[in-house]
Every structure is written in structure tokens, then in C-alpha cells.
């Protein structure tokens, strides 16, 4: 009996010893570096979330971290869905809405779905890493993130749950009469075989200009000029539902939410995709209202796909002059580091390196609000084999080889015969809707993390102000001179050069409190004692800007001696800081 009691006590002793837990105790094996240990919100990052899953994730994260995460709706979508915003910051350290803010959104285009997952991953990583990574903890004490996982929830649901191609629907859920027959949305894609994918149609023809790639029977390639083809390509799966002789011409929503913004907006006849006026869409208006209500936003990131590019404005050549050399240097700083931390991605200027965009979101943020903004085109064929294709960015065989060798043909629907009511004997096959533009599951988490790291780099360099020094000097007649130095220890200034020129945001205020101020001035050159007096409200000096990695000096003349003086800096995009003499 004593033997069993001893074993029981030993067992209890060992059990008690094991209760002194470390963050890894509930894991099997060893935590991989860079991944949160024992997350409160358990989620895998190898799939794409529908609206219900996004909503539940946001609710779960807010419930798990009430001191870090707040969930709210910025408004309703066209079909009445809430456009969720996660506000993430340490709420115990200062007024959240007065911290420098960073805005993130994704999925402005319905088929560009992985922007949502990168946004969700960023929110998850920030909250789950707060207690284990000092860098993240300090970041959330200093800054606030506003993360909107999907800004096109209606069309996302359509893309995920209805038959579509990799490129449809591009926009939202408004219907248009594209063929002018008086009917809208009556000649949509038809899923001929009911497999949930809209793929290509081909038909054998003696006059065809296409043939099967002998190295990859799944792939269609154009015949050479001096040879005969064997197939004609008939476009995507579809039937002429309205009897006008064409298929798939009246699709849902041929408009582009990224042409709906009030900076250099152009009507539809100039750039296809614009609607009736800037802000036609409910989704665009919701985002605009949210950003306008949060003037603390100093940086922003929008996620698109694909091509592996860190993009900044301008979208049109005529706006090039609005992006000054000073602002360009800030963008270059982030873009060059981005190319390093995400191999295969390139840093580009939209109009110079791609094409012209009028009425784009990032120009509205950068030029309309003075916010340093990037748009990232997620995913690139480089990621398939960690090399640049010899055949070009879009016309290459890498996706076909990748599907065969790593996905075991999961990326394509195999060609099969079908009796078409208009075209007769045809074959249907080709890439699935969630291939080519969207990450395969096992690649999604790595790219989410790398792009999240780029965004956090950007956010970490939003202004961080500090009153570094306060000096006093006795003057004749019972007056005292007080000189304060305010520094910005980060790369991003409190105002972009564009903001300064067009006075988008108010100046920064530097106030001396607990003193009788008789004069206030900006010190332009301390060595030669050059100052510029501010005659009105001398107690609060208005400073146009505190540059990145720069400093300003201000000076007051006060009556009497200095006693418990407080210098406070109030900047819309730089936050509020103070120091007591």
C-alpha cells in the first residue's frame, strides 16, 4: 500500500511541476520561429474564407483580445453586408484615435481574393504576437491599425460560391446591358457540366489557328504562321441565352471599383470601368467616410493580385508632378526593402511601369489625403519555381508545369466532350477559377507573412515624435527663455510634401503649458539666433511639418521663472507627446 501511495505522490509532484507552463507547452514538438505559439484564435492559412468565416474570425479575434482588438462596421455593401473594420492597438496606452494610424484593405476586385487573407493574417499576427514579441508590443503601443479584410464582400461571395473564371466577376454585383438589347444580366456564364468552374470551349476546325501543346496536352498554343491548327477557341463556357448570337456578353457588373475614386476620375468613355460619378458605389463611399473620419491615418496598403508588385502612384502621367522628389524618396525606401524581403516582387510606379489608371484608390489616399500608400499585386509566377520565366510574365508554361509537378493536375479541368446547343460538338477544359491568379494553399501563408512584414515595415516608420530637449535661460527684467527640440525618429514625415503644398492637413501644434507666454517663435538657426516669431497665439506654435528623421526647435519667452512647465506636441498624423521641464 505504501508503494502505491508513494507512486501517487510522485505522480502528483510531477504533475504539479508540469503546471509551470511556457508558451510552447501545449504544442507537440517545437514551435517554428516566426509563428505565434498557442494562438487563442486557431486558424489555418491554406484556404480562402467566405463572408461568414471572415465575420466569425473577426468576432473571435475581438473576443480573444478585448484590450487590443475592436470590431465595427464602416457601413453596408450594395447588397447589405457589413464592411468590417478591425481596429488593433494597445488600448491601455494612450488615446487610440490619436496614435498614428495605418489603414489596410483587400479584395477591391472580387476575383483578387487573397488580399483578404493577407489582411486577416496581419490582424491575427499582430494580436497573437503582442505578448511574445517586444517589437510588436511596442508597435501596438505606438500605432493603431485599421484593417478591412474585404471591401467588396458581395462580389467576393459571388466569386467563391458561383461558377466563375479566374477573372470574373471583376467588380461588384450591379447588372448592365452590355449588348444593348434592353436586358441586363440575362446572358451570363453557363456552367455546362455543373462542376463549379467556368473553363474554355474549343472546337475542332480545319481553319483553326490553335493546337495542343505536345509537351502538355492540357495547354493550347497558337499554330505557327506557316502551319495549320486543329482547333478554334470559342471563349468561356456559355450559351446564347438571349438569342442574339453571342455568349457571355451581359455579365454581372462590368465596372471597376478601382476607378470610382475622386482623384483624377474620368468617365467611362475615357476609361472603361468608371460609373456615373466618383463615389457611385456604396463601398467606395464607406471607405472614404471612414478615412476622412480618421485624420490620424499616415500610411495605407491595398492588396490586389497578381504579378508580384509593390505599386505606388501616380496612376496617370499628368499626375506625376504631384509626387515630389521628397515623397518619392520615402516610397523608394520602402520599395527597395520590399524587393528584398519578398523575392520575385518588384517595386513599380503605376503609370510608368504598367498602364494608366484614373480614379484609383491609392491616388485618392496619397494625393487626396496626403497618406503614403502602396498597392501590392499579390502572387507571381516567380514563386512557382523561384525563378523568372523565360517566356514572360503572363505568356509562360510555368503554371502548366507547376500544376503537373506539384499539384498533380489539380489546377486544371481536363478537356472533355460536350454537345453545345449552338456550337455542336465541342470540348471544355482549362484552368480552374482559383488557379493562375490565386495562391495554391501551401503557398498562401508564406506570401501572407512576407507581405504582412512589408506592411509592418511601412507602419513602423510612421512618425514617432519625441520632445528630446527643453532648455531654459534667464533673461533681464524677470523673463525666461524656453527652447524645446522636437524630433521625429522615423522615416515618414508628419506631412507629405504634397500635403504641405496643398494644405490638406492642419499644421503640427507645439504648446507650452503652465506658463505666462509673452512671445513664441520657431528657431530657424540656433547658432546665429535666427527665429521667426508667431505673433498670434504665441503659446501654441504652428509648425508646418516635422520631417522624417528630422527635428524642429521652438522658443518661448515667458514671464517669471520656469516651474513645472509642460511642452506638448499635437500632430494629426504624428500623435500627441509631451515632456515636463
Q: Can you give the pLDDT at residue 3?
A: 45
Spatial separation of the C-alpha atoms in residues 13 and 88, rounded to whole Å = 42
Mean pLDDT, the chain, rounded, equals 91
* Rounded CA separation 567/579 (Å): 5
> Does any domain span residue 349?
yes
Q: Which of 435, 122, 146 is nearest to 305 (CA)?
A: 435
C-alpha cell at 361: 484608390
Same structural domain, 138 and 64 = yes
Q: What confidence category does residue 217 fall into, taking pLDDT thresholds of 50, 70 and 90?
A: confident
pLDDT in tens, 249-278: 766 556 889 999 999 999 988 988 888 899
- Structure confidence at residue 153 as a pLDDT band (50, 70, 90): very high
SS3 content of the chain, % helix, strand, coil (to 5): 25, 30, 45
Instruction: Please say whether the dihedral angle defined by the alpha carbons of residues 364, 367, 371 and 377, taken in this order, is positive or negative.
Output: positive
pLDDT above 70 coverage of the chain, percent: 90
With a cut of 50, say whether residue 45 has pLDDT above it.
Answer: yes
- Point out the least confidently predicted range of 16-30, 58-72, 305-319, 430-444: 16-30
Least confident of 239-243, 398-402, 440-444, 479-483: 239-243
pLDDT score recorded for residue 273: 85
Question: What per-residue confidence (pLDDT) applies to 562?
Answer: 79
Considering the domain architecture, whether residues 297 and 317 belong to the same structural domain is answered as yes
- Listed in sequence order, the residues at least 6 apart from 392 whose beta carbon sits closer than 8 Å to its beta carbon are none
Which is more confident, 363 or 19? 363
Quick one: pLDDT at residue 244? Answer: 79
What confidence score (pLDDT) does residue 28 get?
A: 63
Place of cell 532648455: 471
* Average pLDDT estimate for 411-429: 95
At residue 334, φ and ψ (nearest 5 deg) are -75, -40
Q: Mean pLDDT, to the nearest integer, of 514-535?
A: 96
What SS3 string covers 3-29? Answer: HHHHHHHHHHHHHHHHCCCCCCCCCCC
76's CB contacts (< 8 A; 6+ apart) are: 82, 83, 282, 286
| Residue 3, domain member (yes or no) | no
**Residue 119 reports pLDDT greater than 80:** yes
Q: Is residue 307 part of a domain?
A: yes
What's the domain count of the chain?
Answer: 3
- Position 255 scores a pLDDT of 81
Mean pLDDT within 101-129: 97
Q: Are 393 and 537 in the same domain? A: no
220, 327: one domain: no
**Radius of gyration for the chain, computed over Cα atoms and rounded to the nearest angstrom:** 29
Q: What is the domain extent for residue 571?
A: 465-580
The whole-angstrom distance between residue 75's C-alpha and the CA centroid of its chain comes to 19
For residue 164, being part of any structural domain is answered with no
Distance between CA atoms of 218 and 544, rounded to whole angstroms?
61
Residue 100 sits in the same domain as residue 137: yes
- Residues 218 and 135 placed together within one structural domain of the fold: no
Closest CA to 219 of 436, 419, 434, 388: 436
User: Inter-axis angle of helices 441-460 and 325-341, to 10 degrees?
Assistant: 140
Most distant CA atoms of the chain, gap in Å: 104
- Cell 517669471 sits on residue: 560
Kindly state whether residues 286 and 143 are assigned to the same domain: yes
Q: Would 85 be classed as within a structural domain?
A: yes
569, 468 in Cβ contact below 8 A? no
Are 156 and 83 contacting, i.e. CB atoms less than 8 angstroms apart? no
Q: What is the pLDDT of residues 427-479, one digit of tens each?
A: 999 999 999 999 999 999 999 999 999 999 999 999 999 999 999 999 999 99
pLDDT digits (tens, 9 = 90+) for 293-315: 999 999 999 999 999 999 999 99
The whole-number pLDDT of residue 15 equals 39
Kindly state whether residues 69 and 145 are assigned to the same domain.
yes
Q: What is the pLDDT of residue 552?
A: 98
CATH number at residue 492: 2.60.40.10
Whether 348 and 497 map to the same domain: the answer is no
Average pLDDT over residues 136-157: 97
Q: Is the peptide bond before 169 cis (omega within 30 degrees of 0)?
A: yes
CATH number, domain with residue 366 = 3.40.630.10
Q: Are residues 181 and 154 in the same domain?
A: no
Residue 542 lies in a domain: yes
308 in a structural domain: yes
Query: Does 514 reside within a domain?
Result: yes
Total-model pTM: 0.92
Q: Do 552 and 476 belong to one domain?
A: yes
187 versus 205: the higher-pLDDT residue is: 205
Short-list 366, 579, 370, 373, CA closest to 487:
579
Integer CA distances (angstroms), 356 to 205, 259, 261, 320, 360, in order? 38, 11, 14, 12, 10
Mean pLDDT over residues 34-61, rounded? 96
Q: What is the mean pLDDT of residues 290-294?
A: 98
Residue 9: is its pLDDT beyond 50? no
How many whole angstroms from its chain centre is CA 194? 34
Q: What is the pLDDT of residues 485-509, one digit of tens each?
A: 999 999 999 999 999 999 999 999 9
DSSP per-residue string spanning 71-120:
EEEEEE-TTS-EEEEEEES-TTSS-GGGS-EEEEEE-SSTT-THHHHHHH
Residues 207 and 354 both lie in one domain: no
Q: Is the pLDDT of residue 526 over 80?
A: yes
Provide the pLDDT for residue 14.
38
Quick one: how far is CA 210 from the chain centroid?
39
Q: Last residue of some domain: 336, 352, 377?
A: 377
Q: Is the pLDDT score of 12 beyond 50? A: no
Amino acid at each position: 500500500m505504501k508503494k502505491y501511495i508513494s507512486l501517487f505522490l510522485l505522480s502528483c509532484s510531477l504533475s504539479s511541476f508540469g503546471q509551470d507552463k511556457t508558451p510552447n507547452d501545449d504544442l507537440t514538438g517545437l514551435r517554428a520561429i516566426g509563428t505565434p505559439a498557442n494562438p487563442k484564435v486557431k486558424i489555418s492559412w491554406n484556404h480562402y474564407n467566405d463572408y461568414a468565416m471572415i465575420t466569425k474570425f473577426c468576432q473571435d479575434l475581438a473576443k480573444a483580445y478585448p484590450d487590443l482588438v475592436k470590431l465595427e462596421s464602416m457601413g453596408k455593401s450594395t447588397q447589405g453586408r457589413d464592411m468590417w473594420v478591425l481596429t488593433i492597438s494597445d488600448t491601455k496606452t494612450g488615446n487610440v484615435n490619436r496614435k498614428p494610424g495605418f489603414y489596410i484593405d483587400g479584395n477591391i476586385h472580387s476575383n483578387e481574393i487573397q488580399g483578404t487573407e493577407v489582411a486577416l493574417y496581419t490582424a491575427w499576427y499582430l494580436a497573437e504576437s503582442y505578448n511574445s514579441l517586444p517589437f510588436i508590443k511596442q508597435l501596438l503601443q505606438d500605432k493603431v491599425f485599421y484593417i478591412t479584410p474585404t471591401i467588396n464582400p458581395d462580389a467576393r461571395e459571388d466569386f467563391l460560391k458561383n461558377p466563375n473564371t479566374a477573372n470574373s466577376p471583376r467588380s461588384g454585383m450591379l447588372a448592365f446591358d452590355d449588348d444593348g438589347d434592353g436586358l441586363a444580366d440575362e446572358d451570363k456564364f453557363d456552367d455546362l457540366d455543373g462542376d463549379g468552374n467556368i473553363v474554355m470551349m474549343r472546337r475542332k476546325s480545319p481553319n483553326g489557328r490553335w493546337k495542343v501543346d505536345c509537351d502538355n496536352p492540357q495547354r493550347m498554343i497558337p499554330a505557327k504562321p506557316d502551319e495549320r491548327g486543329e482547333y478554334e477557341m470559342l471563349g468561356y463556357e456559355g450559351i446564347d441565352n438571349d438569342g442574339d448570337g453571342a455568349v457571355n456578353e451581359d455579365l454581372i457588373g462590368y465596372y471597376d471599383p478601382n476607378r470610382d475614386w475622386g482623384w483624377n476620375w474620368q468617365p467611362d468613355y475615357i476609361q472603361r470601368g468608371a460609373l456615373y460619378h466618383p463615389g457611385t458605389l456604396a463601398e467606395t463611399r464607406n471607405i472614404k467616410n471612414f478615412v476622412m473620419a480618421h485624420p490620424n491615418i499616415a500610411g495605407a496598403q491595398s492588396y490586389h493580385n497578381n504579378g508580384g508588385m509593390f505599386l505606388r502612384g501616380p496612376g496617370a502621367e499628368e499626375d506625376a508632378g504631384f509626387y515630389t522628389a521628397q515623397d518619392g524618396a520615402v516610397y523608394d525606401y520602402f520599395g527597395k526593402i520590399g524587393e528584398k524581403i519578398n523575392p520575385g516582387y518588384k517595386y513599380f510606379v503605376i503609370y510608368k511601369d504598367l498602364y494608366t489608371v484614373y480614379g484609383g484608390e491609392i491616388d485618392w489616399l496619397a494625393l487626396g489625403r496626403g497618406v503614403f500608400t502602396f498597392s501590392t499585386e499579390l502572387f507571381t509566377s516567380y514563386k512557382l519555381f523561384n525563378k523568372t520565366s523565360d517566356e514572360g510574365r503572363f505568356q509562360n508554361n510555368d503554371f502548366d508545369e507547376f500544376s503537373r509537378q506539384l499539384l498533380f493536375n489539380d489546377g486544371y479541368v481536363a478537356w472533355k466532350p460536350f454537345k453545345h446547343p449552338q456550337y455542336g460538338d465541342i470540348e471544355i477544359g482549362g484552368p480552374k477559377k482559383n488557379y493562375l491568379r490565386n495562391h495554391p494553399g501551401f503557398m498562401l501563408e508564406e506570401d501572407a507573412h512576407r507581405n504582412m512584414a512589408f506592411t509592418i515595415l511601412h507602419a513602423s516608420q510612421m512618425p514617432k515624435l519625441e520632445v528630446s530637449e527643453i532648455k531654459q535661460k534667464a533673461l533681464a527684467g524677470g523673463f525666461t527663455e524656453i527652447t524645446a527640440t522636437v524630433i521625429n525618429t522615423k522615416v515618414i514625415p508628419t506631412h507629405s510634401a504634397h500635403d504641405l503644398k496643398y494644405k490638406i492637413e492642419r499644421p503640427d501644434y507645439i504648446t507650452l503649458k503652465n506658463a505666462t507666454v509673452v512671445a513664441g517663435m520657431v528657431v530657424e538657426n540656433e547658432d546665429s539666433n535666427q527665429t521667426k516669431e508667431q505673433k498670434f497665439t504665441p503659446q501654441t506654435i504652428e509648425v508646418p511639418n516635422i520631417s522624417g528623421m528630422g527635428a524642429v526647435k521652438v522658443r518661448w519667452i515667458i514671464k517669471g521663472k520656469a516651474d513645472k512647465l509642460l511642452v506638448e506636441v499635437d500632430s494629426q498624423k504624428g500623435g500627441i507627446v509631451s515632456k515636463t521641464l
